[in-house]
């Protein structure tokens, strides 16, 4: 029997996880999360993990959530004070797929395009580790100087960057890190080697999606995001930790420092979510393998399920 990996992608707040849960449950398949924020333990409200009722965490290497019928992998992989990158995710994903190697159908859901690329297509540069010493030297450099430095090291890479990436400090630093590395880039296979990918994309009109974002933010506030942040800070997590730079967390820093109101926090959060959606759309629209569906379409689950059956 042919093996298939069904990848559900799209902007945040389009209902990807809900659809993926339902389809995985109906098909009695494992579900793998590809979300860079949901890998952190103790950070469920702000990241929107939305674990289905009746699921519990099972310790493993790595762990997973289950209701004894299906398993959800990719959540709670690391502590919030630890560094975590795409290379870490791919190492964990390899362990996950080793557990699933007998499965003929796997569902993947997430909005982190780089994670999905690593799973389905592979990322050669993921084998190059971070260079803390180099990053320390680069951290105070101006962005134009970083770009010029990259141009000297790898002119082709520098020229290939779009205008947004040329202004992105972290991406420039990573590109310099890769260009400076003496480690040989490995030709690696994707994690989901041997699986035929079927891509499902969900999106919505801006007006509808913006309203969903607003409602979701208010829902997370009501669910206790502030108490979640209180717990994190009380247990040694710092605003400088990578996990706290994520959407739904970094916007609260000014509030905790006493110079932002809750209203200002929510306004910043809403604005950041809208910017994030633009980046997600830009990434996923490049992939012509994706079959797009309107997330508010009637009988969406049935329509997508029928499409998957035709493609397997």
Would you list the domain boundaries of the chain?
4-124+189-205+283-311, 130-180, 207-278
DSSP string, 204-257: --HHHHHHHHHHHHHHHHHHTHHHHHHHHHHTT--TTSGGGGSTTTGGGHHHHT
Residue 16 is encoded by which pair of tokens? Answer: 């990807």
Q: Decide: 18 and 211 in contact? Cβ < 8 Å.
A: no
Tokens 């994030």 -> residue: 276
Tokens 């069904």 -> residue: 6
Q: Average pLDDT for consecutive 10-residue bins of the chain (312 residues)?
A: 92 96 95 97 95 93 94 97 90 95 95 94 81 88 90 87 79 88 70 94 97 97 98 96 94 97 97 95 95 96 96 92
DSSP string, 27-74: HT-EEEE--SSTTBTT--TTTT--PPTT-EEE--SS-EEE-SS-EEES
* The pLDDT value given to residue 188: 66
Architecture of domain 207-278: Orthogonal Bundle (1.10)
Q: Alpha-carbon distance 33 to 111, whole Å?
A: 9
For the beta sheet containing 30-33, the strands, ordered from the edge strand earlier in sequence to the opposite edge, are 56-58, 64-66, 71-73, 30-33, 105-109, 4-9, 196-203, 290-294
Q: Alpha-carbon distance 217 to 229, whole Å?
A: 15
Contacts 24+ apart (CB under 8 A), 256-263: 256/229, 262/221
**Peptide bond before 62: cis, by omega within 30 degrees of 0?**
yes
CA-based angle 76:79:83, to the nearest 5? 110
* The pLDDT value given to residue 131: 85
Neighbouring residues of 98: CB distance < 8 A, sequence distance ≥ 6: none
| Longest pairwise C-alpha distance within the chain | 60
- To the nearest whole percent, how much of the chain has pLDDT over 70? 97
Residue 248 is encoded by which pair of tokens? Answer: 């739904």
In the DSSP assignment, the letter for residue 296 is T
Architecture of domain 4-124+189-205+283-311: 3-Layer(aba) Sandwich (3.40)
Q: Is 54 left (phi over 0), alpha (psi -120 to 50) or beta?
A: left
pTM, to two decimals? 0.88
* The pLDDT value given to residue 174: 87
């Amino acid at each position: 029997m042919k093996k298939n990996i069904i990848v559900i992608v799209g902007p945040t707040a389009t209902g990807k996880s809900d659809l993926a849960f339902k389809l995985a449950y109906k098909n009695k398949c494992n579900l793998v999360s590809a979300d860079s924020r949901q890998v952190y333990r103790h950070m469920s409200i702000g990241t929107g993990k939305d674990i289905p009722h009746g699921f519990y965490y099972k310790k493993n290497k790595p762990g997973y959530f289950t209701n004894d019928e299906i398993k959800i992998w990719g959540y709670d992989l690391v502590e919030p004070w630890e560094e975590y990158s795409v290379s870490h995710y791919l190492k964990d994903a390899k362990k996950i797929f080793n557990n699933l190697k007998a499965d003929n159908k796997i569902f993947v859901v997430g909005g982190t395009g780089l994670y999905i690329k690593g799973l389905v297509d592979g990322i050669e540069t993921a084998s190059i580790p971070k260079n803390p010493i180099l990053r320390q030297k680069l951290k105070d450099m101006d962005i134009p100087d970083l770009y010029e430095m990259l141009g000297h090291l790898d002119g082709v890479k520098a020229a290939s960057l779009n205008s947004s990436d040329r202004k992105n400090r972290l991406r420039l630093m990573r590109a310099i890190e890769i260009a400076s590395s003496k480690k040989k880039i490995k030709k690696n296979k994707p994690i989901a080697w041997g699986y035929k990918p079927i891509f499902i994309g969900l999106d919505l009109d801006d007006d509808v999606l913006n309203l969903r974002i607003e409602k979701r933010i208010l829902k997370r506030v009501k669910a206790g995001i502030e108490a979640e942040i209180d717990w994190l800070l009380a247990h040694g997590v710092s605003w400088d930790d990578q996990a706290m730079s994520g959407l739904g967390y970094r916007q609260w820093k000014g509030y905790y420092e006493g110079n932002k109101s809750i209203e200002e926090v929510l306004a910043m959060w809403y604005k950041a979510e809208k910017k994030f959606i633009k980046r997600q759309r830009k990434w996923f629209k490049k992939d012509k393998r994706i079959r797009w569906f309107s997330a508010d379409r009637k009988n969406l689950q049935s329509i997508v399920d029928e499409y998957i059956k035709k493609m397997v």
